[in-house]
């Protein structure tokens, strides 16, 4: 071989090796983009067998797009994604078991309005969207269930006349209702905006200070305050077991500043499973438009509305609410055709073995969405 041929041969070998190396990037690309799908075809056996079964649960178990975050935090340690995926799978399983159950708190009264507290599960029938429930899974008389109570006090200009007396009545109600180390309550005053004067606590003295700290003034955004109390306080409140959520709303019902509508506020209360009791501050001696609004809110959520035209009737209204909170039943049931479609479902509970009994509960619920 002449010198020129030898040189060409060596150059050709080098070019061939360079081409082969370029077609097989190897480890130079994988560390830089281990979470990208584009790098996976370079390892055909892994996606087909061990890697693929482990990947979908981590993505599917996250309801809010969390599948994008784990690769970023666990890239340096390939073994760490497995435990979160298992934890998420267990959480998802729990949700699936409970999401098709509906919880309802309700009261039963006789023809004279007296509470009936000694009924049993077989005394009731549950109708969901005009169809009998498949199964009542739990039932209890909830006289001792922990309470989470929100006191919402209208502090607008329109309620100045007897504001002081209503404050003292509210303080007495909280003192009689909230049990230390068991129940919790918070206080919100509202005019154009809601203001938390005392957050969740079981300390009745702190609650009293929160009530006395309210000062009337400004317009009325009652719907906004109710929406806020349900969404940002009760719905997000920490709980370790079943609780009863209730709001006591003192107002004249005349809303002129809210950004949400009455029905949107009611919907949020229903989603948070909150019973709303309303006490009108109207002192005209006759029912006004605002009283009708308060009645609508209470009725839709399974509560009661009070129109205490006399001052002493305000204290009586608080006393009756306290009595009712200790005289309720709670059950959970499986609907006949449950679908996670976000749709509103009606609820009707019948005392089928007793005549002349009235069962009062929220009118319905919103199914969750997936």
**Do you know the residue count of the chain?**
370
What tens-digit pLDDT sequence spans the chain (370 residues)?
A: 555 555 555 455 544 444 444 444 443 333 333 333 333 344 444 444 444 444 444 434 333 333 444 434 333 443 334 444 444 444 443 333 456 889 899 999 999 989 998 999 999 999 999 999 999 999 988 767 789 999 999 988 766 667 888 899 999 999 999 999 999 999 999 999 999 999 999 999 999 999 999 987 788 999 999 999 999 999 998 877 778 899 999 999 999 999 999 999 999 999 999 999 999 988 777 889 999 999 999 999 999 999 987 878 888 999 999 999 888 999 999 999 888 888 899 999 999 888 889 999 999 998 888 6
Which helix (H) or strand (E) covers residue 172, if one does? helix 163-177
pLDDT of residue 126: 96
State the Cα–Cα distance between residues 245 and 105, nearest whole angstrom: 9
Q: Which residues contact 250 (CB under 8 A, 6 or more apart)?
A: 151, 152, 153, 154, 159, 166, 170, 278, 279, 281
pLDDT of residue 158: 67
pLDDT of residue 163: 84
Q: Is the dihedral of CA 226, 227, 232, 234 positive or negative?
A: positive
pLDDT of residue 141: 83
DSSP code, position 84: H
pLDDT of residue 238: 83
pLDDT of residue 4: 55
Closest of 358, 346, 302 to residue 119, by C-alpha? 358
pLDDT of residue 312: 80
114 token code pair: 């007296």
Largest CA distance in the chain: 121
DSSP code, position 273: T
């Amino acid at each position: 071989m002449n010198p020129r041929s030898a040189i060409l041969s060596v150059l050709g070998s080098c070019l061939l090796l360079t081409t082969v190396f370029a077609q097989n990037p190897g480890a130079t690309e994988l560390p830089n983009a281990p979470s990208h799908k584009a790098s996976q075809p370079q390892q055909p056996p892994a996606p087909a067998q061990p890697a693929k079964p482990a990947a979908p649960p981590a993505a599917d178990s996250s309801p809010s797009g969390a599948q994008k975050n784990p690769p970023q935090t666990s890239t340096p340690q390939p073994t760490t994604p497995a435990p979160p995926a298992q934890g998420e799978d267990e959480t998802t399983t729990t949700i699936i078991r409970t999401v098709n159950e509906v919880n309802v708190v309700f009261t039963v009264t006789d023809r004279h309005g007296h509470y009936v507290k000694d009924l049993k599960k077989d005394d009731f029938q549950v109708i969901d969207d005009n169809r009998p429930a498949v199964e009542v899974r739990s039932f209890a008389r909830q006289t001792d269930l922990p309470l989470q109570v929100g006191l919402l006090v209208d502090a607008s200009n329109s309620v100045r006349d007897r504001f002081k007396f209503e404050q003292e009545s509210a303080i007495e109600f909280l003192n009689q209702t909230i049990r230390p180390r068991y129940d919790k309550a918070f206080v919100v005053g509202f005019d154009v905006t809601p203001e938390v004067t005392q957050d969740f606590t079981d300390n009745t003295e702190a609650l009293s200070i929160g009530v006395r700290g309210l000062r009337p003034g400004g317009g009325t955004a009652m719907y906004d305050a109710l929406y806020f109390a349900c969404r940002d306080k009760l719905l997000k409140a920490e709980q370790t077991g079943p609780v009863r959520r209730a709001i006591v709303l003192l107002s004249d019902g005349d809303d002129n500043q809210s950004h949400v509508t009455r029905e949107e506020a009611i919907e949020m209360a229903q989603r948070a499973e909150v019973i709303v009791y309303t006490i009108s501050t109207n002192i005209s001696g006759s029912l006004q438009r605002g009283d009708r609004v308060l009645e609508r809110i209470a009725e839709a959520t399974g509560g009661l509305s009070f129109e205490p035209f006399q001052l002493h009737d305000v204290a009586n209204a608080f006393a009756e609410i306290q009595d009712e909170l200790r005289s309720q039943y709670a059950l959970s049931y499986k609907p006949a055709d449950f679908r996670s479609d976000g749709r509103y479902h009606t609820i009707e509970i019948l005392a089928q073995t007793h005549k002349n009994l009235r069962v009062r509960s929220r009118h319905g619920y919103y199914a969750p969405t997936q």
